[in-house]
Every structure is written in structure tokens, then in C-alpha cells.
Structure 1
Amino acid sequence: MTVQMYLARRRQFEIGLCILFLFVLWLVQFTVVYLEHLGAESRFKPWEFLVWEGTSILVVGLLFPLILIWDRRFPLSKETLARHLFIHLLLTLPWSLLHVVAMVALRTAIYYLEGGSYNFGHWGIEFFYEYLKDFRTYGFLLGAVYLYRFLLRRIQGESLEPPDEGRPKDSIERPERLLIKKLGKEFLVNVRDIEWVEAAGNYVNLHLGDRIYPLRDTMAKLLERLDPDDFVRVHRSYIVRLDSIAEIVPLESGDARICLKGGQQIPVSRRYRDLLRTQLRSA
């Protein structure tokens, strides 16, 4: 599999890898807990261990997107590390509370269907115990997200050092090229080669085929520098080159999905859907 093939179906691969990881983790943790009770006199049945570990991991998987949302709102960068890291530490508390409540609710329902009852124990003591585990889990998942992004940039040959230090550059009139730092050098990227743009905290990622170039700028300021006849904003986090669009798929929610010629799929929010239609008609 090439990098380009992976990027064309990146979201599908990421979801599949997450599901596979959680499934393997479920089996591993069940095996560990089961073996711990195997040698001793235990009043629990094997299916109970499966339920305990399974409900916990299932809820972690369902809550994982919440970490991504919070990371988008409070990204860990050089300028905001101390402040945003403290915010993430605070967010571990509601995240753990949601995990424990949902986990106990699922276990209670399963035991009820089995004809029994589930006893979580003393809520104060048990929640403190679960919070200590959730604190580590939250940190592990957040760290895994940044490690994954780091490795993805390395695979694509991107620079390890932050691109374009300092404040975002002032707007200029329709540049034909953008100055990008990559591999410790400065390169000029042709604007006409940009297929789509994605917001990434204090940066924007310029997508050119299977290459990604990070640029320190905001979506609004970058859009001012791009030709409106060629580029359109379709989401608060996405800008698309009109010539890169293969098809637009309407969704029942009122949103839409853009399929690019390179195979990528970009969400279109209702807020920008009419603007996209207008620019396509005038193109």
C-alpha cells in the first residue's frame, strides 16, 4: 500500500485501526483478568469478565471522538502548551464521569437481561479508582493522536520543526506561490497545485496529492489570499479547490459530502452549502 492509497481512504483506515485496536485490547484485558481469577476461588463467571472489560472499552471508543474535539479546540502547541495542557487535565474529570456512568449503565442493563443485578460498589471509592485509570487512558489516547500525526508527517517527509515561526503573515493579493518550510529548507508551493486545505490548530495543512504542507495561518486569512474563482470554503475546517471536485453527495441532515478526484472525502456544512452551489454555477 502506498502513502497516496492510504491518504485517499485515510478516515476509513483510521476508524478500522481504532476498532481493531479496541477489539484486541478487549481480548487481552479479558484474558488478564480471567487468568488472575482462575487460580483462586472466584464467584464470578467468565462472561462477567467479558462484560466488564467489553463495556469499559466500548465506552472509551465512543468517547474517543470527544478527545479529538477538545484537542481541536485546545491544541497542544509551543505557544499554548502550558495553558491547554492544564485544560486537558481538567477535562479528564468530565470524560471519566461520562465513561463511568455509561459503563455502569451498560453493565446494569446486561445483568438485568441475564436475570441478575450489577453492583458497582461504593460510588465514591469506585469512581476514584476508575478516574485514576481514566486519567492514564485519556493521556495515552491524546499522546497516541500526536504520535500518529508525527509519524504520518515523517512518512510523507514533512519537517519536524514547526513551520513558519511567528505571527501569521499579513494578507497579500492573490499570491501564485506560498513559502513553506520543509526538511529544514524553504520551498515555494504553487497555489494552483493545492487541492484542499484543512485547519489544524494554529496552522492550516495544504494538501497537494499525497503531500501535506503545514502553514502557520488562519483559514480566514488564507482564504483572503486565495482566488475565490478557484477556491471555496465548504466547512469551518475545510477549503476546497473547485477543479478538484469530482462529485457532491447531499446528505439527509442537510449537509453534504464532497468526493475529490484524488479519492478524498470532504464534509460540507449547511452553512457553506449554498455558497458552494453559487460558486459552482459561476465557475
Structure 2
Amino acid sequence: MPDSRPPRWRDGTHLLVWTAILSLTATINALVALMDAHRRGSGIAFWEPLIWEFSSVGALLLILPLLWWGCRRWPLHADTWKRVLPFYVLASVVWSMLHVVGMLLLRHLAYAGLGHDFHDDAGLVQRFAYEYLKDVQTFALFVVLEHLASWYGRRQQGEARLLAEPDEGPAVEPVEQPAHFLVRKLGKEFLVATADIEYAQASGNYVNLRVRGHDYPLRITMAVLEQRLDREQFLRPHRSWLVSRAQLRSIEPLDGGEAVLHMADGAKVPCSRRQLPLLRQALSAT
């Protein structure tokens, strides 16, 4: 199945980059903590600060994919941030709770593996309150960077929008069913023909239009886009997908009544069990 998100670091590379950054930070923090402990005359083993820091890093890396998913599912925009912001505030609390629980669990496991018992002088509530003050800053940083990366990816690849009614004079073409979309890329605007769209996939508040190997995010719902496109040319095999009839090459039935649509560019698009009979009926009607 194609990855039709805006071009950006894919999750694997994204995770490796953050692993390297967080690991370097954890190593530095552990060395500083060890030097401070020796300066104060505290009797701690050299491995303890490493476990403290890397258990925090490990817990963060485990829950990072949840944050990325949330940012894609509820993107922040100038016209939606007031509605979405309370979700992010609540998500920061859940994020911190998962981080604290995961961090303490990893510490217990690491100490037990070395034949020691881990004791946390702070209670769970006190520990959470302390960690949340730090976690909310980390959470906000990750959210900002994620949205900046998404914005930069859309800017590099190009972001589409529907043609609007002109301020003066008649429309060049019917706006309700436009023959073109206006794409803005790196400060330039150009037209993408509706007939060149191979398929479209819903992604959060966007629908990604696939055109000649490129994805153009369009801020619209799939239901509205379906109304704007020619029903004779575009088919709805799945609630999250639209495909061009001209780009469909074959239908592969699956167990359970679903199917996979093979597109001209090699992409595989899912077809739901409910939509498969309707799809076959539409294809046989021509």
C-alpha cells in the first residue's frame, strides 16, 4: 500500500534520528549526574545514572509513535488550533503518565537484571508532578517539530487547493466540479488537472492527491472531494480512498469479502467488503 503522506522523514528514519539525539543527551546528563554525585561524596555506582537517563529515553521512544499519530490525526492550523488545543493539553497529561510508568518499569527491570532493588524516594504522585513539569516541555517541543516537519514537507511537495470563484467575471470552469486544482509549491502556483489524479487517500484533515508519482495534500474531507469529482471517472472503494477508473488495472479478492485494487503505478488500494459489489457494478455499467 502506498505511503501517501506529505514527503518527510519516514517513521523508521525519524525514530533513528530521535534515538541518536536523546541517547546523546542522556549520556551527557548521566555523566554530569555522576560527577555531581562524586563531588558531593554520594556513593552511587557508575551505572545508576545511565539507567536513570536511558530508562527515560526508552520510555519516550516507545510512546513517540503515539504522538506522531496524534499530530497527523489532529493537525494544528490557524483556523482549528483553538478547538484542537484542549486535546493536546489532555494528551500531554496522558503522555507524561505513560512516560513515568514506562520509565519506572524499565528502571525496576534494569536494577533487577543487575541483582539490585530499585527504590524511588518520591511517591508516585510526587514523581508524576515532578516529571510532568519537564515532560510538558518535551511534549510541546515534539509537537512543534512534528508540525513544522509536516508543513515543510507540504511546502516541498506542493499543497493543493480548490479553484475559487473569481472576484469579477464568470468562472472559467464550473467550480463545483473543477477540471483543475491549484497547487502551491515553493512559492509558485500551477494547475493540476483533475483527470491526472490517480487516486486519493484521506489523512487527518487532508486528502492526499496522487499525481504522476507525487502527493499533493488538499485540505478537504473525502466526502466533499467525492462530490467535487466526476462520479463516472472516480470510484470510492473504501471510506478513506478514491481511485481513478482509468488507473485501475485489476481487482484481487481477499478472504472475508474484501479486495485489493492494483493501480497502474503499482500501488495497492484497499476495497471494503461493502464497497466491492458497488465497485463491480459501476465498472460493469460501462
1:1-283, aligned counterparts within 5 Å? Answer: 14-39=10-35, 40-41=37-38, 43-122=43-122, 123-158=124-159, 175=177, 177-182=179-184, 187-228=190-231, 230-244=233-247, 260-262=263-265, 268=270, 272-276=272-276, 279=279, 283=283
Q: Which residue type is aligned with residue 212 of structure 1?
A: D
Alignment check: 8 A CA contact 2:93 2:132 kept:
yes
Structure 2 distance, partners of 1:83, 1:8, is: 26
Q: Distance in 2 between matches of 1:59 and 1:175?
A: 49
* Contact 2:199 2:210 (C-alpha < 8 Å) held by counterparts: yes
Taking structure 1 as the reference length, the TM-score comes to: 0.73
Give aligned-pair identity as a percent. Answer: 34
Query: Cα offset for 1:136?
Result: 1.4
State the Cα distance separating 1:100 from its structure 2 match: 1.0
Paired residue type of 2:134? K
Q: Distance in 1 between matches of 2:50 and 2:231?
A: 55
- Comparing 241-250 with 54-63, greater Cα deviation is found at 241-250
Change (3 A) 1:173 1:37: closer
CA-based RMSD: 4.0
Change (3 A) 1:9 1:86: closer
Letter in 1 for 2:77: S
In structure 1, give the amino acid aligned to 2:13.
L
Q: Check whether the contact 2:262–2:268 (CA below 8 A) recurs between aligned residues.
A: yes
Unaligned 5+ runs, structure 2: 166-173
| Matched residue, 2:171 | none
1:108 maps to amino acid: H
Runs of at least 5 residues in structure 1 that lack an aligned partner in the other structure: 1-6, 167-171
Structure 1 residues 157, 226: CA separation in 2 closer, same or farther (over 3 Å shift)?
Answer: closer
Give the distance between the partners of 2:256 and 2:32, measured in 1 at CA.
48
Relative distance call for 1:16 and 1:95 in structure 2 (3 A) is: same
Give CA deviations for 1:182-205 in whole Å, capped at 9, x if unaligned: 257765432221122233444423
Distance 1:146 1:163, change over 3 A: farther
Change (3 A) 1:71 1:20: closer
SS at match of 2:58: helix
Aligned positions, number: 268
Q: Aligned pair in 2 of structure 1 residues 52, 196: CA closer, same or farther (>3 Å)?
A: farther
Relative to structure 1, is the Cα distance of residues 120 and 164 closer, same or farther in structure 2, using a 3 angstrom cutoff?
Answer: farther
For residues 261 and 152 of structure 1, the distance between their equivalents in structure 2, rounded to whole angstroms, comes to: 25
Q: TM-score, normalised by structure 2?
A: 0.73
Q: Kindly provide the amino acid, as one letter, of the partner of residue 75 in structure 1.
A: P
Highest RCO, 1 vs 2 (Cα 8 Å, sep ≥ 6): 2
Shift of 1:88: 0.9
Task: Tell me if structure 2 keeps the 8 A contact 1:175–1:226.
Answer: yes
Higher alpha-carbon Rg: 2
Q: Aligned partners of 1:240 and 1:65: how far apart in 2? A: 29
